[in-house]
Amino acid sequence: MARPYNFSAGPATMPESVLRQAAAEMLDWHGCGMGVMEMSHRGAAFGEILEQAQADLRALLAIPPHFHVLFSQGGALAHNAIVPLNLAGRHPERAMDFVVTGGWSQKSAREAQRYGDVHIAASSADEGFVCIPPPQQWRLRERPAYVHLCSNETIHGVEFHTLPDLAALGCDAPLVIDFSSHVLSRPIDWDRVGLAFGGAQKNIGPAGLTLVIVREDLLGHALPICPTVFDYRTLAEQHSMANTPPTWAIYVAGLVFRWAA
């Protein structure tokens, strides 16, 4: 049977060779007698899967060693809350700056308002979200907890081809990017990024897995109300296993990383 063309934003098409390998290993992963969905996330077999997936993602995106690769849950929308819960505490008044260029960054800014002082540094809402305001015109505060943008707005079709250099704009803050819809499609300038997050279902694997790549110095600032399993420092210290991770989704994502390499 011919497979249909799937132009959905996600869950999206998977490489057929990856699907075939996952099907072949469904009942028995590498001779261990069980499938990935059945094995303990604390066991040696899944530990091997997790470590390989993290290493392959590091290689694909050239992630520097002072960044942690975390496999989380909740999707990108949940991380609109989890990011401020982790980073807003870097500023005494929980100040956060947002660049709003479409529906996704708009949702991110609205959610962050629940946890601190949100300032819209730039917005293209008046133009119908068909452009990116020139960074030189952004009204950034000098030192907010972080600056947030969505690097590819799928709803309105606006994409950052170059990430802004906040230091050159007079802003001493880490840049947070939601890269859900174009992760793995291009290099990332990690010198300009403090944290990147995204759901895996658009480009990488099944729904249920969220990638978080966070710089070491941004850990340890979680607000007291942040749930333990969503504290990035806890996730980093426990190697993404503060609770049972989405094992099957991590396994399939790992296959995609190997395929993409």
Q: What is the pLDDT of residues 146-155, one digit of tens each?
A: 999 999 999 9
Is 14 a domain residue?
A: no
Phi, psi of 37 (to 5 degrees): -65, -20
Domain at 96, CATH number: 3.40.640.10
What's the predicted TM-score (pTM) here?
0.95
Is 142 a domain residue?
A: yes
Catalytic site positions = 104, 178, 202
Is 37 a domain residue?
A: no
Instruction: Round to whole Å and give the CA distance between 59 and 225.
Output: 35
Is 20 a domain residue?
A: no
Q: What is the pLDDT of residue 10?
A: 80
Is 19 a domain residue?
A: no
Is 193 a domain residue?
A: yes
Its domain, for residue 57, covers 44-260
Q: What percent of the chain has pLDDT over 90?
A: 91
Q: What is the pLDDT of residue 203?
A: 87
Q: What percent of the chain has pLDDT over 70?
A: 100
Is 64 a domain residue?
A: yes
Tens of pLDDT, residues 74-83: 888 999 999 9
pLDDT of residue 1 exceeding 80: no
What's the number of domains the chain is made of? 1
Q: What is the mean pLDDT of residues 218-242?
A: 96
Is 38 a domain residue?
A: no
